[in-house]
Amino acid sequence: MKLAALIVTFNRLDKLKKTWAASAALNFTDIIIVNNASTDDTAQWLASINDTRLKIITLDENIGGAGGFKAGIEYIDSQVKADWLVLYDDDAYPPANLIENFEKIKNDEYLAYCCRVEDLEGNICKMNIPYLTFPSGLVDTFSYFLSPQKFIPDENISQRVSTFSFVGLIIARDILINYKSSLFAELFIYYDDLYFSKALSDSGIKIRYSTEIVFKHDIPVGVKTITPNWKVYYLVRNLFLARHLSASLKAYSLPAIFIRVLKYIALTVKQKEKANYLRYVLKGITDGMSNTSGKKH
């Protein structure tokens, strides 16, 4: 069984060095790193690495995590023959026992496995928790906000889920390639993995939440605001964009979208630069409804 890693990076060299060290210690056949037009010393540092497994894809512009993973998948389609791909960001660290534990849990029923993702203090990363069932409609959205435990797995129990995050995803190469049209680079960041995994689930592909494999995600702990403010633009805009990008993808209904947007508006009171934050929310609404995609901050 051959596994390869696909990592996307942008201007986080200190974290990328840790990610590389953890990745290089594993028996990957290939380690593909997509450099998303970093403006720090990432390119020079990558060029200094002496490891034949390393494949560097240097992009001319920053096209976000969505575009970076799409570029990596296109490269894998023509250049990489591994059986399985492991996807993660430059601030995520795979465990030393990843391949060993994956070999123990892999079976013919599942073609995608999302791992347990923790921050550096051992807390479960909420942003990387998969859905058991996707709360598409208005009623489900209200129910999710009131009782999220109905829609997400017990963090300690391995089971079938309907979505995954690109942090700690192990997926069969053929599935990744065959469904690459369902990964929308136009989103730039946010929801690209959510919509991609929902498309797989809608097609009958089974996804397993696998607590046996634990990725560490090097993110701020205890932060309850959206920082920097421009991130809320993509969180809002990309809710609407799914309705334009794919006629077959039944993501959030329009009423459910507006309920979620109201949640982001309510968060304005917690932001330090409230007017600037609210401008990004409003721009996200107008651009999303008018089908404006790509990098816009």
Report CA-CA distances (Å) from 211 to 94, 103, 153: 13, 14, 10
Element (H, E) at 286: helix 274-289
Q: What are the tokens at 263?
A: 């949640």
- Please report the domains of the chain, with CATH numbers, ordered by start residue: 3-217 (3.90.550.60), 231-289 (no CATH)
The count of other CB atoms within 10 Å of the CB of residue 118 is: 17
| Biggest alpha carbon–alpha carbon distance for the chain | 54
List, for residues 124-173, the tens digit of each pLDDT value.
Answer: 999 999 999 999 999 999 999 999 999 999 999 999 999 999 999 999 99
Question: Which pLDDT score is estimated for 248?
Answer: 85
Kindly state the average pLDDT of the residues 114-131. 97
Cα separation, 126 vs 217, in Å, equals 11
pLDDT for the residue numbered 8: 98
**pLDDT tens by residue, 249-289:** 889 999 999 999 999 999 999 999 999 999 999 999 999 99
- How do residues 186-207 score in pLDDT, each as one tens digit? 999 999 999 999 999 999 999 9
pLDDT of residue 224: 83
Predicted TM-score (pTM) above 0.85: yes
Whether the ω angle into residue 228 lies within 30 degrees of 0, i.e. cis, is: yes
